[in-house]
A and B are shown apart, each in its own frame.
Chain A
């Protein structure tokens, strides 16, 4: 293992180049040059990423040489914060995934988005999106990560709401459908806002967690956090260790759409298909995984003397992952909107990644879970990007977003069908494709760690996954076309232009290649990368050696394959061979119908959120403004006026009999002045002065009450 010197600006450029593209593309007019520029910068960024990947594949370590931009620059000296980049194998692999999938998605967009009016806006946000994601991946500190994190949030808002004219065809959900009286179909701009607000909830928890961590440690830097671990002891002593870790994890729950913040992702389908591909495969949802992969090892090894203290955190992560995986998989089994089904599937697959990262802290070898998570991220990113790009094409082609209106496309679309088959098989975890190896690594880790509960949930979910994957495949490609002559043109369906099918075919081939590499110990290679990553975090500190272990065991694999075969059997019978119309099952019994409705309405979680968190506070806010800021004052003012009248009644007598004689002249001019001011809404002015006075009086009264001063009366 040799150390390969590379100039540090290579790493910086990976995230700077897309940002440059953000600005450069809109400056080049509105023609093909702009499109070319917009795709060029992600490509350059990906090439720099590749430069880093080559030594990693060779098994060498990268040592960054300060060149043009140092590997780490001082940022805010007052707080001792500096900003730098990472170059360990784990980071490099994720950066390459992000870079190359993003590039393919951008390439696909050239044709897919051709002629769209808002294309400049599209390129702007797509490039910004990629740059921000790479910032998350490459930053060597939590603050840099947070900045990229917010950038990703902003872009997701803009891109999900891309079709902001809200034409009905771009809505997500079937307009008119409701659950618990809450509308279940959303226009794109609503979906964008929903994504932003919902992930924001998680971000808030994360920001709080990061700030508390900073207060205890004085640093945002991963390496500093890992090497000087006094903060962990202090946090543990005050009982905050697990809460802080969970707060930070909250950010990951939001961005990666895990329970209970998963509801934004299915509706994020309102954006264009390449945006969905980017969000689901390369960027946004993986951000949460990256975050957990950063803080997980730090929290785990920080208390090397007593890792049991942090175990509850990993337990929560693992169970949230497993539960989300299961729940989303059940939701993907019903419903017909193609992209929405893929979205449920993403939520479910990310759940597996969280499960893996949680298991890392529950097993004896941390790197085992960490690398299984990376493996799953890798295989999922590739096949899911392919599926989304194909979904975009299929929806364009057939003119419908519902898979039950597609059907019978197998023979017309040979390339698309075969790639779809590969991707669906990989999603199902059929050996020897990529999805099999990554899922197997996770479940074997669970088995090896003795977490049989987690194992069973994960394993059964694999069966559900196989079911919904082939349900999709069957409905889209088998049977007869339910809507003959449908689509934009009414022409016979045919393959898209190469600019569309080449990107997803490349991804399909990638899925197969990873599957083959699975036989050649890709898992062990990833584990070695994870170990090198952990070492690089803790370099300079005394650290026990991690030795690679093989998680593979036949029992867990066979159980999972059993579940997968069961799922496949039902799915193929129902949707490929069409032995029995599924409506007969759903309509056949009350129970089946109820379960179906429950799943279709997303376990009613979405509807309840709207009731409790959207509509109620909105009403409360208006109520507060009307009653406190406006109405309350009216009431106070009325009271004051009554009081004043009472005083003035007494004063009146005095006034009439004494003052009048003296001041007839003065009163006359006073009246004129008063009339002049009455036109200026004197009522309001008097209220304002009253509030000011009341504020002062309250302050003084509190002072008298609380300070213990006795008045000398």
Chain B
């Protein structure tokens, strides 16, 4: 636990110190380097916790240190680090760089705490600590109308979802008399059915579903991704979205182990998740096909990927309710967690590539991607690999997690979800390939080489290396996801 506390201290110190650096009149970039250093330290600490820390709780069970938390903390902090590095290059952060980094670090701190939250109140505080800075970050290009618009929309809808979560927490407390998640689970284990509690679960799903970008709570996603500064959009797509998933796992799936939403009816958690999964992936893919802007295409593709991740949730809930298919449930949650990790890598790479294009060429419509391979070869290659991985082409990393997800449901009564997912996966290749074709085959407006800054190239190399490396040697990663998934089964 000392490790996590150290990570918290490092992030807090840098987040608070960053504006002070500005006040002290130091060079603006010093805050960027301080933040990057703090994030590196935090990642190292979480890694150390993974290696040496056990499953312990502290602060009176407000936080609990387990493999699941480590997995999410590593993902969100790594993404934050990548965003911090590339933000050095983007113009929007130049004026108020210290505040920008301060907000970024506060959000990262919120996500870190959220990963380990074991109490509903702690979870809510962490949730807000994560969300509030992002509302500001979305509007950080304050001179650009779209950025302001994105911030306003995101903030209002975000507040709505926070209110829904808070209402769900209060209902839960009213029914069970505790806010500790393990306490809630223990209490509900003896109570077969309570309509108020069921309503609370549905409210949780809606509230968390907002961040997870599940249809129909997804409407803000394309607008916010498009309007926000691109590096911030990367954060939304790959980090805060993951926070929605960890919250859902910590709360809703924990409750699912003992409580059926509505006994003796088809309205079960498994079916809710399954339907949301299929609707989300289908709508995401169909809408992505018709987009004209890269950011919106990525946004819809990100929505579709959330649908795949939900498949594991569905089979988990199903197995907990029926007591059957435990092996499938382990497989499904392993697939979900692995896909969450992979999605952060794949979508992170795609978003950062789009970020660089936007920074250098000032456009994000798909036409600017024509002939990109000649102008920005490294960026185009990164984007191509990430699209292949997102499409599930073997042997890249996305293939394995999708394979696990498909396998987990194919021989269960939820097989129709697998069918829908496989069809979706094939369908999605259509728009992924379309972009790859544009970049490599089509004639661009110009063939002039465009500078690709060093920091971006390093991040691209790391991400492409991860996509191919995990694809070729997935053992360790699957083992990690498997360990985290197994910890859900008590």
Contact = CB atoms under 8 A, between A and B. Distances in A.
B411 A215 contact: yes
B217 A695 contact: yes
B151 to A, nearest CB: 9
B136 to A, nearest CB: 16
A629 B283 contact: yes
A396 interface: no
A681 interface: yes
A150 B482 CA distance: 27
A681 B152 CA distance: 10
A467 interface: no
A692 B217 contact: yes
Contacts of B262: 703, 706-709
Interface in A662-713: 677, 680-681, 684-685, 687-689, 691-692, 694-696, 699-700, 702-703, 705-709
Given A78-B478, A204-B426, A703 B202 contact: yes
A708 B437 contact: no
Given A76-B475, A204-B423, A624-B286, A695 B482 contact: no
Contacts of A216: 411
A706 B266 contact: yes
B413 interface: no
B426 A74 contact: no
Contacts of B164: 696
A203 B261 CA distance: 38
A164 interface: yes
Interface string A15-28: 00000000000000
B202 A706 contact: no
Interface string A621-654: 1101100010000000000000000000000000
Contacts of A706: 262, 265-267
B216 A692 contact: yes
Interface stretch (A62-70, A206-214, A411-419): A206-214
A193 B400 CA distance: 25
B287 interface: yes
Contacts of A78: 334, 478-479, 482
A579 B482 CA distance: 75
How many of chain A's residues touch chain B, expressed as a range?
A: 35 or more
Contact of B206 (A208, A681, A696, A707): A696
Interface string B444-485: 000000000000000000000000000000110011001000
Contact of A207 (B199, B395, B422, B442): B422
A165 B444 CA distance: 12
Contacts of A695: 206, 216-217
A110 interface: no
Interface string B421-450: 011001001100100010011110000000
A692 B394 contact: no
B153 A189 contact: no
Contacts of A147: 394-395
Given A621-B290, A703-B261, A215 B410 contact: yes
A692 B153 contact: no
Nearest to B419: A208
Interface string A80-110: 0000000000000000000000000000000
A154 B433 CA distance: 10
B393 A707 contact: no
B202 A77 contact: no
Nearest to A200: B426
Contacts of B152: 677, 680, 685
Interface in A503-536: none
A609 interface: no
Contact of B441 (A77, A161, A629, A685): A161
A699 B443 CA distance: 48
Main secondary structure of the interface of B (DSSP, over half): helix
A212 B286 contact: no
A189 B437 contact: yes
A196 B149 contact: no
B286 A621 contact: yes
B475 A707 contact: no
Contacts of B441: 161, 164, 189
B290 A200 contact: no
Contacts of B266: 706
B148 to A, nearest CB: 7
B201 to A, nearest CB: 9
A75 interface: yes
Contacts of B429: 200
Contacts of A211: 403, 406-407, 410, 418
Contacts of A629: 283, 287
B6 interface: no
Given A78-B334, A150-B394, A207-B422, A707 B198 contact: yes
Interface string B215-243: 01101100100000000000000000000
B160 A692 contact: yes
B186 interface: no
A688 B272 CA distance: 21
B373 to A, nearest CB: 10
Interface in B254-312: 261-262, 264-267, 272, 283, 286-287, 289-290
A146 interface: yes
Contact of B219 (A154, A625, A688): A688
B30 interface: no
A344 to B, nearest CB: 27
Contacts of A681: 149
Contacts of B437: 161, 189, 193
A161 B199 CA distance: 55
A600 B388 CA distance: 37
Given A78-B478, A625-B290, A700-B199, A688 B153 contact: yes
B361 to A, nearest CB: 22
Contacts of B125: none
Contact of B199 (A154, A197, A694, A703): A703
Contacts of A200: 426, 429
A579 to B, nearest CB: 48
Contacts of A204: 422-423, 426
B160 to A, nearest CB: 6
A696 B267 contact: no
A78 B479 CA distance: 7
Nearest to B418: A211
A79 B400 CA distance: 11
A708 B394 contact: no
Interface string A422-434: 0000000000000
B202 A707 contact: no
Interface in A167-214: 189, 193, 196-197, 200, 203-204, 207-208, 211-212, 214
B203 interface: yes
A60 B437 CA distance: 48
B175 interface: no
B127 interface: no
Contacts of A203: 426
B104 interface: no
Contacts of A694: 216
Contact of A699 (B153, B205, B264, B331): B205
A554 B411 CA distance: 51
27 contacts: A74-B475, A75-B475, A76-B474, A76-B478, A77-B479, A146-B394, A161-B437, A189-B437, A207-B422, A208-B422, A212-B410, A212-B411, A215-B407, A621-B289, A621-B290, A625-B290, A629-B287, A685-B153, A688-B220, A692-B206, A692-B210, A700-B202, A703-B262, A706-B265, A707-B265, A709-B195, A709-B262
Interface of B: 148-149, 152-153, 156-157, 160-161, 164, 195, 198-199, 202-203, 205-206, 210, 216-217, 219-220, 223, 261-262, 264-267, 272, 283, 286-287, 289-290, 331, 334, 388, 393-395, 400, 403-404, 406-407, 410-411, 418-419, 422-423, 426, 429-430, 433, 437, 440-443, 474-475, 478-479, 482
Closest 9 CB pairs of A and B: A707-B262, A706-B267, A695-B216, A164-B441, A688-B219, A215-B411, A147-B394, A625-B290, A709-B195
